[in-house]
């Protein structure tokens, strides 16, 4: 019977003929934007062929090869490979040994974490992803409040989930402290979390204890939990002390995010963590369970990095941390002095991290329509590239990375001086 049907008719009966592929990316994918790439790719970036490019744009301390992980870190990962016992799956939240190691590493200034408070993730970005996902519910119209200027990944993560993003201002004239009145004005009934990034990328600023107290007081008053991105934690310059939000005596639940990327100089190893600080029991049991459930999405983080973690965190000597801080501090001073002498640029001396913010006084550069225009021409004429403030949500600023060798920083500053001298009026 079927055989007697014309071929095209039987195909039509199966519905195969007139259908076309309609495969479209989900809104989670479409709303997942890389704001740095979006802005940078839209610039017509052509370096001057007669000058080698100096990239002060990449927030990866390993790119120029001058900053290397400690021998202890390298040895630890070699042993994790050679020992042969880190090749399997482990618990999704991380192995007990690695969680305990992070708890110990972050227990200072009177804070005492336990292994059960730690969840290991695939880099600090993934830690932040889990924190936003566990606290903010797009189906309830939730929002999160993030710093401006600020690291763009908070927005990327929230928008991909369909969570609304609000921003609070940082004040350059007040050492990039938070505009507390502005922060409080952003909070509404749907606010699920406030993201606090200290020390700050891109500002290089470090909050003191009293400022942190003020921030936590606002969170406590409105009963909003904090996501504290402390990836730079003790990477602060000699006169500055890092204070973790967890060490402040306040009745605010906090998810602290960190990892090996910056202070240990191995961003590609993708090892991050969340540490639960919950003096009021607000995260018990829902958020703790939720984070554990979400860690199942990736079946846990890299087993070799977990195997190496106890030795890395225990054996890396203070001298390694001090050397890194001193190199960055020297570079910061060098950059600050050089740029302070350039009319039209106002550098802001960082207190830690790997970055410096520089204001571009556009009123003195009528040739340029915007900070983006300025950056593009600086690349075209001097082959120097920094990230425009627009990548972090503010205009008329640029962010410089100060991890690169000092001779290159000096050369970049010389070129910026010549460039600004040509156009300053
Ligand atoms: C680099 C950075 C991160 C991401 O770190 P990974 O561990 O590489 O994912 C998170 N937050 C800030 C502020 C950063 O600068």
- In this predicted model, what pLDDT tens digit does every residue of 191-228 receive, in sequence order? 999 999 999 999 999 999 999 999 999 999 999 999 99
Q: Please say whether the beta carbons of 253 and 49 come within 8 A.
A: no
Residue 231 and residue 280 in one domain = yes
Distance (Å) from CA 45 to ligand 1 centroid:
25
Determine the distance separating the centroid of ligand 1 and the alpha carbon of 391, expressed in angstroms.
Answer: 15
For residue 162, is it within any domain?
Answer: yes
Residues 200 and 272 in one domain: yes
Contact 344, 371 (CB under 8 A): no
342 & 207 share domain: no
Distance of alpha carbon 314 from alpha carbon 205, whole angstroms: 27
Q: Give the closest residue (by CA) to ligand 1 atom 13.
A: 201
Q: From the CB of residue 217, how many other CB atoms can be counted at a distance below 10 Å?
A: 16
Task: Kindly state whether residue 24 falls inside one of the protein's structural domains.
Answer: no
Give the pLDDT of residue 1.
45
Which mutation among 58, 124, 205 tests ligand 1's pocket best, with the greatest number of atoms within 8 A of CB? Answer: 124
Pocket test for ligand 1, best of 34, 60, 102, 125 (most atoms within 8 A of CB): 125
- Of 60, 201, 257, 356, the one to substitute when testing ligand 1's pocket (max ligand atoms within 8 A of C-beta) is 201
**Beta strand pairing call for 191-197 and 118-121:** unpaired
Pairing of strands 384-385, 54-55: parallel
Question: Per the domain annotation, does 227 fall within a domain?
Answer: yes
* CA 355 to ligand 1 center in whole angstroms: 13
CA distance 351 to 12: 70
Q: Do 76 and 315 touch, CB atoms closer than 8 A?
A: yes
How remote is the CA of residue 270 from the centroid of ligand 1, in Å? 10
- What CATH number does residue 238 fall under? 3.40.640.10
Is there a domain that residue 20 lies in? no
Are 310 and 335 contained in the same domain? Answer: no
* Whole-number pLDDT of residue 42: 84
Residues 172 and 242 reside in one and the same domain: yes
- Do 261 and 324 reside in the same domain of the chain? no
For residue 199 the two structure tokens come to 């020390």
Q: Which of 267, 297, 315 is the last residue of a domain?
A: 315
Contacts of 386 (CB under 8 A, 6+ apart): 56, 57, 358, 375, 378, 398, 399, 400, 401
Structure token digits, residue 29: 């994918």
- Domain-located, residue 142: yes
On whether both 288 and 187 belong to a single domain, the answer is yes
Work out how many domains the chain is built from and give that number. 2
> Domain check: are 107 and 223 in the same one?
yes
Q: Is residue 5 part of a domain?
A: no
Distance 55 CA to ligand 1 centre (A): 19
Residues with C-beta less than 6 Å from any ligand 1 atom? 59, 123-125, 151, 197, 201, 229, 231, 259, 261-262, 267, 272
> Helix, strand, coil: what percent of the chain each, to 5?
45, 15, 40
Backbone angles phi, psi at 173, to 5 degrees: -75, -10
Which residues does the chain have with pLDDT short of 50?
Answer: 1-2
Choose one of 286, 315, 344: the last residue of a domain. Answer: 315
> Are both 49 and 196 inside the same structural domain?
no
DSSP per-residue letters across 249-271: --S--EEEEEESTTTSS-GGG--
- Enclosing domain of residue 240: 71-315
Euclidean distance between the first and final Cα of the chain, in Å?
89
pLDDT of residue 3: 52
Q: How far apart are CA 260 and CA 306, in angstroms?
A: 11
- For residues 99 and 223, membership in a common domain is answered with yes
Residue 161 shares a structural domain with residue 41: no
- Centre of ligand 1 from the C-alpha of residue 339, in Å: 27
Alpha-carbon gap, residue 251 to 257, rounded angstroms? 19
Report the separation in Å between the CA atom of 271 and the middle of ligand 1, taken as the mean of its atom positions. Answer: 10
Ligand 1 pocket: which of 128, 130, 153, 206 to mutate (most atoms within 8 A of CB): 153
pLDDT of residue 14: 58
* The domain boundary residue, chosen from 284, 315, 346: 315
Determine the distance separating the centroid of ligand 1 and the alpha carbon of 324, expressed in angstroms: 17
Position 392 in a domain: yes
Omega cis (within 30) before 149: yes
**Residue 23 within a domain:** no
- Which CATH number belongs to the domain containing residue 382 in this structure? 3.90.1150.10
Task: Say how far apart CA 118 and CA 127 lie, in whole Å.
Answer: 11
Which pTM does this prediction carry? Answer: 0.94
Looking at the structure, do residues 232 and 128 belong to the same domain, yes or no?
A: yes
pLDDT tens readout for residues 128-154:
999 999 999 999 999 999 999 999 999
């Amino acid at each position: 019977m079927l055989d007697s049907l014309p071929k095209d008719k039987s195909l039509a009966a199966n519905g195969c003929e007139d259908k076309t592929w309609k495969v479209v990316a989900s809104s989670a994918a479409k709303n997942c934007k890389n704001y740095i790439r979006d802005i940078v790719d839209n610039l017509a970036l052509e370096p001057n062929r007669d000058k080698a490019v100096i990239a002060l744009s990449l927030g990866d301390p390993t790119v120029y090869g001058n900053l290397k992980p400690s021998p202890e870190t390298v040895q630890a990962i070699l042993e994790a490979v050679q020992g042969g016992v880190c090749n399997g799956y482990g618990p999704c939240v991380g192995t007990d040994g690695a969680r305990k190691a992070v708890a110990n590493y972050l227990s200072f200034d009177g804070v005492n974490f336990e292994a059960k408070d730690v969840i290991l993730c695939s880099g600090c970005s993934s830690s932040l992803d889990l924190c936003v996902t566990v606290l903010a519910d797009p189906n309830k119209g939730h929002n999160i409040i993030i710093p401006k200027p600020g690291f763009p990944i908070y927005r990327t993560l929230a928008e991909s989930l369909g969570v609304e993003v609000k921003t609070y201002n940082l004040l350059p004239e007040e050492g990039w402290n938070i505009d507390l009145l502005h922060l409080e004005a952003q909070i509404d009934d749907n606010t699920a979390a406030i993201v606090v990034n200290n020390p700050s990328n891109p500002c290089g600023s470090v909050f003191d204890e009293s400022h942190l107290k003020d921030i936590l007081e606002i969170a406590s008053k409105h009963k909003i939990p904090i996501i504290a991105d402390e990836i730079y934690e003790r990477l602060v310059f000699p006169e500055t002390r890092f204070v973790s939000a967890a060490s402040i005596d306040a009745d605010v639940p906090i998810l602290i995010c960190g990892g090996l990327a910056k202070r240990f100089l191995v961003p590609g190893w993708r090892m991050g963590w969340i540490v639960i600080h919950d003096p009021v029991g607000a995260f018990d049991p829902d958020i703790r369970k939720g984070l554990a459930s979400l860690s199942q999405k990736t079946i846990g983080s890299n087993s070799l990095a977990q195997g190496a973690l106890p030795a890395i965190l225990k054996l890396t000597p203070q001298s390694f941390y001090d050397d890194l801080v001193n190199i960055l501090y020297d570079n910061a001073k060098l950059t600050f002095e050089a740029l302070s002498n350039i009319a039209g640029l106002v550098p802001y001396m960082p207190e830690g991290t790997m970055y410096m913010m520089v204001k571009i006084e556009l009123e003195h550069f009528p040739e340029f329509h915007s900070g983006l225009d300025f950056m593009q021409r600086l690349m075209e004429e001097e082959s120097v590239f920094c990230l425009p403030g627009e990548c972090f949500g503010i205009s008329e600023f640029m962010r410089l990375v100060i991890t690169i060798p000092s001779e290159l920083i000096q050369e970049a500053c010389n070129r910026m001086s010549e460039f600004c001298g040509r156009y300053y009026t």
